[in-house]
Each structure stands twice: as structure tokens, then as C-alpha cells.
């Protein structure tokens, strides 16, 4: 099934910037980065449970947010892209949000 | 139906920062901001067509990305949140991604 993972990590403090890197790295283990803080992860149900638990350990529940959207197996018809659609490259793309 | 709108807008140039503000403002007309660049929009099919067209007019197709995820009517069981879950407030929350 496809699970969309989106996150906001507060980066006011250095520790937040570290969490941000850790969240992105963990998501990379499970899926494809499609935007700056958006990953599409093709996972089995047990992997989904695992990635949620692993990400929850990284974030600060008071300041950071993780959201998971279960798009199921028939997900292709649920996704539309407009504009730049190639995979996001954090090394070459610069976004200040 | 619930449509998730996620976006990356390149903000290297001033014009990009303007587009970013315009995209966020337009999304606010249709839905609820749940993360920095993630909106959940409860729309009818005709509104969905309209918001897509309006956002497409704002972005630069070469540098920016819009993604739409159709979560349907039975969307509540498709969404999970971990961590901070109250609506994102761009005036008080600071994120550097």
C-alpha cells in the first residue's frame, strides 16, 4: 500500500535541525521523496507500523508534526502532479518555507 | 471529498516568495492548513477542478511542484497524526526546511 508521510519539524533550535535530518533520512529508507517534506512510501502493513514507531521516536511531540495518509493499493488514480515532478533533490534544490 | 494539497515553491528569487504566499493564500480559501505546506481541502468535484486551475496559474511549472492526493469521502480512517496536531499558524510557528 502507498502511505504518504508529511512532516513539519521545528528548526528554531539546533536539536530541531538534527531531528529534521533524521526524519528525512528515516523516510528515505522507506520511500521516495516527492517534495521537501513529503515522502511516498510503498510499504506492507508491518512496515507501516515500524516506520511510524521509528519516526515517533525521533520527533518532539510538543513542537513537531507527522501526518500519515493511507492511499491504499489503488493509489495511482488518487495522485495528481502539476509543475516540477521529478524527484526532489535536497542537495540541489533550495526552498525556504 | 477530501483532497490533500502539498506544495514546494522555489523561493530563491523574490518572485518565488510571492508565489509561495499566493499559493498558501489560495489554499486557505479551500481548506485547513495542517502543516507548513500541506492543506486538507474538503471540496466538491467542481471546486477541485477550480482550485487546481487557480493554483496552476500561480506556480512556475519549471521550479515549483503541486501535488494533489484524493482521499475520497471516507477519509477519516486514512489519516493519522503523531505529535503536534493543532492547526499550523504561519504567524507564530517558524520552520526552516
Classify burial at A92, counting beta carbons within 10 Å of its beta carbon; exposed 0-12, middle 13-18, buried 19 or more: exposed
| pLDDT above 90: residue B75 | no
Q: What is the C-alpha separation between A58 and A60, in angstroms, rounded?
A: 7
**Nearest-10 crossing angle of helices B14-30, B45-58:** 170
Locate cell 533524521: which residue?
A22
Using an 8 Å CB-CB cutoff, list chain A residues near B81: 65-68
- The mean per-residue pLDDT over the stretch A83-90 comes to 67
Residues B82, A55: C-beta atoms closer than 8 Å: yes
Residue B25 grid cell:
493564500
Return the pLDDT at A26: 97
Model confidence over A28-39: pLDDT tens digits? 999 999 999 999
* Residue B6 near residue B38 (C-beta atoms within 8 A): yes
pTM over 0.90: no
Say whether the ipTM exceeds 0.90: no
Yes or no, beta carbons of A65 and B84 under 8 Å apart: yes
| B38-68 pLDDT per residue, tens | 999 999 999 999 999 999 999 999 999 999 9
Amino acid at each position: 500500500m502507498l502511505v504518504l508521510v508529511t512532516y513539519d519539524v521545528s528548526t528554531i533550535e539546533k536539536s530541531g535541525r538534527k531531528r529534521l535530518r533524521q526524519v528525512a533520512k528515516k523516510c528515505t529508507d522507506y520511500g521516495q521523496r516527492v517534495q521537501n517534506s513529503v515522502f511516498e512510501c510503498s510499504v506492507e502493513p508491518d512496515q507501516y507500523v515500524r516506520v511510524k514507531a521509528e519516526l515517533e521516536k525521533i520527533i518532539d511531540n510538543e513542537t513537531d508534526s507527522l501526518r500519515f495518509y493511507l492511499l491504499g493499493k489503488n493509489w495511482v488514480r488518487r495522485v495528481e502532479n502539476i509543475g516540477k515532478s521529478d524527484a526532489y533533490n535536497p542537495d540541489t534544490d533550495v526552498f525556504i518555507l
